[in-house]
Amino acid sequence: MLARLQSAFQRQQQFTADASHELRTPVAVLLAQSECALFGGDSLDEHRQALVACQRAGKRMQSLIEGLLTLARCDAGNVLSERREVDLAEVVKSSVRMLAPTAEEKNISVTSDLQPAQVMGDANRLSQVVVNLVQHAIIYNKPGGQVRVKLHSADQNVSLAITDTGIGIAADHLPHIYDRFYRVDPSRSEQGAASGLGLAITQEIIHAHGGHIEVLSQPGVGSTFAVHLPAMPESPAPRNHTDHATKGASSDNPDSS
């Protein structure tokens, strides 16, 4: 009991130290650049560059603070603001559509194969999960690579698999990728690209929906992240309702960008 308390306390201390460290860098950039704009060069171009750097640092802080707030909600057990029937295929479709410009920019093709799937939960949070995973599949891909999104429902279980042809993750990193602030390549954070909170939040949201996430990865070949969620129990077929023929039927909805 004492050992468990000690370990929880150490984790909390580490988390606070990591969060402070992560915020210190953009604050330092913000102060240095604003000082430079106030007391440094006079040219419009120099001022503009300083403002761009300030804006980038501000965005980084905003994303970190939002991530920290979401994790605080997870820890307090109230990350889901609602629990209602969610059409997961629709959530996946709109999340993939939202990321089409990012995929296009990196010349990545995204294809979807979506079966109808209803789950109980918070549509916004589920969308956050899909966006995180598909975004990673695009960002950690190779130029000209592919992402496949497959949603499938069977035996009261819904599975969402996101497969990429990207850089993959080495076996020794896999046990840590859901840890808060963990990054396989910390140098990416300097470019403002990664907070190291994405998968921690993703996993918490999935757990809050009674599901789990697993990953299969091979360095240089790619990764598959699979999310498993409990399906909504089928409601009894309404009488004299002919539309019902389409429900539960397997359907392929290719959605490319």
User: Segment 110-139, which members bind ligand ADP (CB under 6 A)?
Assistant: 136-137
Query: Stretches 71-79, 88-96, 181-189, 235-243: which one binds ligand ADP (CB under 6 A)?
Result: 181-189
Q: Is the Cβ–Cβ distance between 117 and 98 less than 8 Å?
A: no
Do 256 and 109 form a contact (C-beta atoms < 8 A)?
yes
Q: Report the amino acid identity of residue 35.
A: E
Q: DSSP string spanning 9-32? A: HHHHHHHHHHHHHHHHHHHHHHHH
Region 215-234 residues binding ligand ADP, contact defined as CB under 6 A: 223
User: Is position 206 an interface residue for ligand ADP (rule: CB under 6 A)?
Assistant: no
Residue 15 makes contact with ligand ADP by CB under 6 A: no
Here the contacts of 177-185 (C-beta below 8 Å, separation 24 or greater) are: 177/215, 178/202, 178/203, 178/213, 180/15, 180/18, 180/71, 181/15, 181/18, 181/19, 181/22
Q: How far is the CB of 123 from ligand ADP (least distance, A)?
A: 21
Give the position of tokens 């057990």: 77
Find the shortest distance in angstroms from Cβ 159 to ligand ADP: 17
Whose Cβ is closer to ligand ADP: residue 73's or residue 136's? 136
Backbone angles phi, psi at 177, to 5 degrees: -65, -20
Stretch of residues binding ligand ADP (CB under 6 A), selected from 54-62, 80-88, 195-203, 226-234: 195-203
Of 74, 96, 108, 194, the residue at the interface with ligand ADP (CB under 6 A) is 194
- 92 in contact with ligand ADP (CB under 6 A): no
User: Which residue ranges make up the site for ligand ADP (CB under 6 A)?
Assistant: 136-137, 140, 164, 166-169, 177, 182-185, 194-200, 223
